[in-house]
Amino acid sequence: MLKIILPSIMLLPLTWLSKNKNMWINVTSYSFMISLLSAILLWQNDMSTLNFSLLFSTDSLSSPLIILTTWLLPLMLLASQNHMKKESEQNKKIYVSMLVTLQILLIMTFSCNELIMFYILFEATLIPTLIIITRWGNQTERLNAGLYFLFYTLIGSIPLLIALIYIQNITGTLNFLLFPLTFMPLNQTWSNSILWLACMMAFLI
């Protein structure tokens, strides 16, 4: 995972240290290299779990999501250059930094094993997304759109947090790797349907 996260973090100093006329070329080409590097996960991950630590690993479900995340950044950079043409150089670098930060948070979100860390990283992605919507949105109602986005997502994720706390109290762990070892399975009752709905509500919204 460090093979992808560390190069993604290096995009931030590359953005701010590049000359103004070369910034888009440097960041876009470097992000394409990260995208190609992320394709290694498909071959390393043949229907098994690739563990990096107790907190981060990839499997056959998370690897395509991570690869998709790394490919979205260069495509967003290519698509937004014309839109950002009239912005100042500092605003361009702030915009690219928000996109890079969003990519780093999403990679960590899709690869983490701890559910409570997944929740924290999932909510952390709201910050750069909200800044991008409210500052560089195309429509005049972008402030209202950002406000609705923030409150709908936060309100929808509260049941998820409550469900995670409940699962932690029942099973004693929220780590995917430790779930098969727990001796406290959830009771097969009608409340499990409510628990499932609470976990899914954040993603449905």
Between CA 141 and CA 118 the distance in angstroms is 31
Identify the pLDDT of residue 191: 73
Between CA 139 and CA 141 the distance in angstroms is 5
How confident is the model over 113-129, as pLDDT tens digits?
889 999 999 899 999 99
How confident is the model over 144-178, as pLDDT tens digits?
888 888 888 888 899 999 989 988 888 888 888 77
Identify the pLDDT of residue 186: 62
CB atoms under 10 Å from CB of 139, counted, come to 9
Tokens of 104: 């780093």
Identify the pLDDT of residue 86: 85
- Locate the domains of the chain by residue range: 1-113, 114-204
pTM of full prediction above 0.85 = yes
- Confidence category of residue 197, pLDDT binned at 50, 70, 90: confident
How confident is the model over 41-98, as pLDDT tens digits?
777 655 455 565 677 888 888 888 999 999 999 999 999 988 888 889 999 999 999 9
Identify the pLDDT of residue 20: 86
* Residue 106, C-beta contacts closer than 8 angstroms, at least 6 positions apart: 69, 125
Identify the pLDDT of residue 102: 95
End-to-end CA, the chain: 29
Residue 36 has pLDDT above 50, yes or no: yes
- Give me the mean pLDDT over the 103-108 stretch: 94
Question: Backbone phi, then psi, for 134, in 5-degree steps?
Answer: -75, -30
Identify the pLDDT of residue 35: 92
Identify the pLDDT of residue 170: 81
Between CA 118 and CA 163 the distance in angstroms is 13
Identify the pLDDT of residue 47: 47
Between CA 116 and CA 160 the distance in angstroms is 10
- Give me the mean pLDDT over the 25-49 stretch: 80
Radius of gyration of the CA atoms of the chain, in A: 19
